[in-house]
Amino acid sequence: MANILAVDDSASMRQMVAFTLKGEGHQVTEAADGQVALDLAKGQKFDLILTDVNMPRMDGITLAKELRGLTNFKFTPILILTTEAGMDKKQEGKAVGATGWIVKPFNPEQLLATIKKVVG
Amino acid sequence: MTFVEESLEGLDIMESVLLELQPGVTDADAIDTIFRAAHSIKGGSATFGFENIATFTHVAETLLDQIRNGQRPVTQHAIDLFLHSVDCLRNMLSASQGGTVADQARIDEVKKELDQLLDSEVEADIKSTADAPADIVSGSWQIHFKPYPDMLRSGNDVVRMFRELNELGELEATTDASTLPALADLDPEEAYLAWDLTLRGEISRAQVDEIFEWVEDECDLSIEPLRKPVAVPHDPEKPTAAPAAEDRREGNDRRGGADRRKTPTGGSGGESSSIRVGIDKVDDIINMVGELVITQSMLSQLGEDFDMSRVERLRDGLSELERNTRELQESVMRIRMLPISFAFNRFPRMVRDMCQKLDKKIELKLSGEQTELDKTVMEKIGDPLVHLVRNSLDHGIESPEQRRAAGKNEIGTVHLNAYHQGGNIVIEINDDGAGLNKERILSKAVERGLVEEGETPPDDEIYELIFQPGFSTAEQVSDISGRGVGMDVVKRNVSALGGRIEIVSTPGEGTTITIRLPLTLAILDGQLIQVGKEIFITPLINIIESLQVDKNRVNSLAGQAELYQLRDEYIPIIRLHEVFDIESENTSLEDGLLMVVEGNGQKAALLVDDLLAQQQVVIKSLESNFKRVEGLSGVTILGDGAVALIIDISGLISLSQSRLRTATDTAA
């Protein structure tokens, strides 16, 4: 099963994501902002990054951009968690190399269906 | 929380916000709320495989989005249409639960209207309009897909996408390697190949689009129907009921891991209904259990080393225990309690629709919506309430012209009120309409032989007549009411809940209907009565009065019937010891006590040996523990462990009447 990095400044959001993914047998590492995530990513390999957009210290767009710069993460799927209003964020994410997006709010089933497109 | 429950809640929200929308005013917050509700219903239904619901919601959502973006004004027509859509969605949701059948004709009709509205005055974005018909097409697809060289750098993987496609249907791929450079010039991180894909099956365009969603601007992509699609996209007359259903099944099977399928089945098997409980109520219970545990440990400590000097503490402990138990009981009962607003919420919509239909102006006032009652009671009282409110709207409130002529405000008022009184909840339905027409009820009653010609019963008895089966005084039968079915059913339902219904009406000023119901069906306020050595329980709500027998007032009729003259009424006497075949020392009326009870509109005087305490009893079902017994509604366990039977008053009255008939028949 996949090793997934979940990045969100909302603890409840991280919890929901982690709980859902762990239930499917994935390994989940949580990070509270982009900076923490980037530091973690430099130390180990992940099969998928799920990241929120608006976060303190480093936002999700910058994180995606930085990750694509790392050899280990050149082709790693990066999914942006965005609100439906944020069409421009989707484009912005794509521009810096994000793989796709999940529109918030989403339920566990939607999350699983979406990540199935990029892992496994 | 299943998807269906969540969606029904979403629909309730949509409905209540829609009702507040004013034509011509784009209230951004309100529209946003409606949009969000529609959006999550669409998302959820697509996730759980309800394609028909998703497709339907999609059109409504597109319209809402246009309104939200200010591209489309809020019109009365649009509001009406959205309200109809809410109805259709409710219908589809409940059909998906099994049991009912979706009214496909109605759904198609509303969908057509939505499509028409969407097509009309379109300055809207073309994409979403184009999406809508595309969505309903199911079939096979011919896809040409050529990734741009950079596509792989975004982490999208062609192999995974093909695997997804393959799960939708039967996939054939032809690779076009003509653009592949010589090995020396090849950059392994770039994409060079192109594919022609044939995807066979009953697959919707949306499903295919979804797979290419993330790469649509990173590749050359064309998606064309392979053969003539099952449904003609621009003919909204026949929007694909069958294919959509089929699609949904296949979608489930193909995509479905076991976990995916579990959720919809769990939802549709929804026999075991769930209840949402406020966290404060749960906290209360946990708190109470905590105290109970403390009291228990205090008592057991006391018991370990007990002597008479500590009897005072024992007594304190026991009274503490009693208090804890009672509070715990109350808190647990509160779990089943819901505010009556759940039942009231449907009325604003109903009043609005009926005003349009009847061409009347009516204002609905609600008060006491936070009054709580048992969930089961609420479910059973919903339909009777609807019926009563309909009656008020249709028969009670006059037309604006009539109201003006009578010197009244042309806007009628219907007031729904609820409050607690003792162990009961009281629900009042009050209208300021014309009041019941006594003369017409009376002449109708005479016509039906319910009242003798020339007789004039007191007002309340005349009003009672409208609860007779098949009794309607409506001059014209409308499609709303007047068929004369209903009031008797209302009365029966209320009685079945152990409640009572009363009517007060003043000609020209209006009618008030009062329903009194027990707060819960699990606990009953009972009067303990003794017959012989047995103890029975009579629901307090049925008891009118108790009195010492005055022999002069007892009249024997031919056969064995005995009547007791109470003021100006003759009430049949029922000897409980005879009905239940109990040996009792008091068999003569002279020493007896009579308890006058009323059930289902009939009065009876029960001969009992003694009246004991009044107390709350917990009802246990006789049916599930033993079998149904006529004249009894259940059993309970008393403080000393004895089992006491709870008397079903209306059952008892009809039981004793049929016995009497048999006795008379045999005698004759």
What's the confidence (pLDDT) of residue B472?
A: 64
pLDDT tens digits for range A12-35: 778 888 888 888 888 999 998 899
What's the confidence (pLDDT) of residue B247?
A: 41
Q: Name the pLDDT band for B231 (thresholds 50, 70, 90).
A: very low
Residue B122 pLDDT exceeds 70: no
State in words which class domain B2-131 has. Answer: mainly alpha
B310: Cβ–Cβ under 8 A, 6 or more apart, which residues? B302
User: 3-state DSSP call for residue B628?
Assistant: coil
Give the sign of the dihedral formed by CA B389, CA B394, CA B400, CA B403: negative
Distance of CA B282 to the CA centre of its chain: 23
Q: Are B36 and B128 in contact (CB under 8 A)?
A: no
Query: How distant is the Cα of A44 from the closest Cα of chain B, in angstroms?
Result: 18
Check CB contact under 8 Å for A97 and B211.
Answer: no
What's the confidence (pLDDT) of residue B414?
A: 92
Residue B333 pLDDT exceeds 90: no
Q: What percent of chain B has pLDDT over 90?
A: 7
What's the confidence (pLDDT) of residue B560?
A: 67
Q: Which residue has the tokens 């969505």?
A: B135
Cross-chain CB nearest to B152 (options A75, A94, A105): A75
- Cα–Cα dist B487/B468, whole Å: 7
**Residue A110's closest chain B neighbor by CA?**
B47
What's the confidence (pLDDT) of residue A38?
A: 92
Check CB contact under 8 Å for B39 and A118.
Answer: no
Most confident of B43-47, B290-294, B327-331: B290-294
Q: Which CATH superfamily is domain B523-667 in?
A: CheA-289, Domain 4 (2.40.50.180)
CATH, domain range B136-239: 3.30.70.260
Backbone angles phi, psi at B534, to 5 degrees: -95, 150
pTM > 0.90: no
**Architecture of the domain defined by B339-518:** 2-Layer Sandwich (3.30)
Mean predicted lDDT score pLDDT of chain B = 79
Cross-chain CB nearest to A117 (options B48, B164, B189): B164
Residue type, B80: D
Element (H, E) at A74: none
Question: Nearest Cα to B520, choosing from B617, B646, B599?
Answer: B617
What's the confidence (pLDDT) of residue A4?
A: 92
pLDDT tens digits for range B203-219: 888 888 888 888 887 88
Minimum mean pLDDT range among B40-49, B116-125, B426-435, B645-654: B116-125
Q: What is the mean pLDDT of residues B250-256?
A: 39
Q: Which residues in chain A have their CB less than 8 angstroms from residue B214's CB?
A: 94, 99-101
Catalytic pick from B391, B424, B430, B542? B391
- Cα–Cα dist B350/B347, whole Å: 5
